[in-house]
Amino acid sequence: MSDRVSQLPLLGETMPEIIAQTTIGPINLREDYKGKWIVFFSHPADFTPVCTTEFVAFARKASEFKALNCELVSLSIDQVYSHIKWIEWIKQYIGVDIEFPIVADESGEVAKSLGMIHYKKANNTVRAVFIIDPEYKLRLMLYYPQEIGRQIDEIIRALKALQIADKFEVALPENWPNNELIGDKVILPPPTNLDDARERIKNYEGYDWWFTYKNLGS
């Protein structure tokens, strides 16, 4: 098998079991966060500038994730003592507490199973993000290169959108809730038959029967 092949889970599939040592002790991702959403993300390495800016941003937004019934869990292939020293450094020099656990994936086993390690850069992980729902299903994947930091507000936006899509059985437009065409409205699922198609545009706002929308909750 080529070393470029990764056994990535597909969207909607159950995530692999992840049991690992972290900065708060051993965790079982599925069992310890049962009934919660999880943002599981990797960072290339401790004591690196871009990762430090991301961790500060995640920590400062932690209460927003908590309010969405979501837990943050990070990972790199550094050892746990490196993680501990780095979060101490962040506290000392930036004044921010990193309270979410950081997986010490020293063997790289978890990272490799999730395609977090580029086959040409085996010494650290890419900037991967996995949003996992309360059923432990993978709902979203994002991958960034090492040289570009993530936008944490976009991860929160995506998490909110997934939760709304599930609750109301709708779709969300580009840049929701600030879409150029329909603002903060949500898109209705497509009609399932001819009669529904004919009635759809009569009962809802829209450009055509296949593109109708409504206010959230209406």
Query: DSSP of 172-218, one letter per residue?
Result: --TTTTSBTTTBT-EEPPPPSSHHHHHHHHHHSEEEETTEEEE-TT-
Fold topology of 19-150: Glutaredoxin (3.40.30)
Q: What is the pLDDT of residues 165-194, one digit of tens each?
A: 999 999 999 999 999 999 999 999 999 999
| Residue 51 is among the residues annotated as catalytic for this protein | yes
Contacts 24+ apart (CB under 8 A), 177-186: 182/213, 184/215, 184/216, 185/213, 185/214, 185/215, 185/216, 186/213, 186/214, 186/215, 186/216
Q: Is the peptide bond before 177 cis (omega within 30 degrees of 0)?
A: yes
Task: Say if CB 18 and CB 71 are below 8 A apart.
Answer: no
Show me where the domains of the chain are located: 19-150, 169-218
19-76 pLDDT, tens digit per residue, is: 999 999 999 999 999 999 999 999 999 999 999 999 999 999 999 999 999 999 999 9
The token pair that represents 169 in the structure block:
């059985």
**Chain CA centroid to CA 54, Å:** 14
Predicted pLDDT of residue 4? 43
Q: Radius of gyration (Cα) for the chain, nearest Å?
A: 20
Stated pTM of the model: 0.92
The pLDDT-based confidence of 108 (bands split at 50, 70, 90) is: confident
| Res 122 pLDDT > 80 | no
To the nearest whole number, what is the mean pLDDT of the chain?
93
pLDDT band at residue 153 using 50, 70 and 90 as cut-offs: very high
- The fourth-level CATH superfamily of domain 169-218 is Antioxidant, Horf6; Chain A, domain2 (3.30.1020.10)
Q: Which of 51, 59, 98, 103 is catalytic?
A: 51
Burial-class residue 189 by CB neighbours within 10 Å (0-12, 13-18, 19+). exposed
What is d(CA 43, CA 73) in angstroms, rounded to the nearest whole number? 11
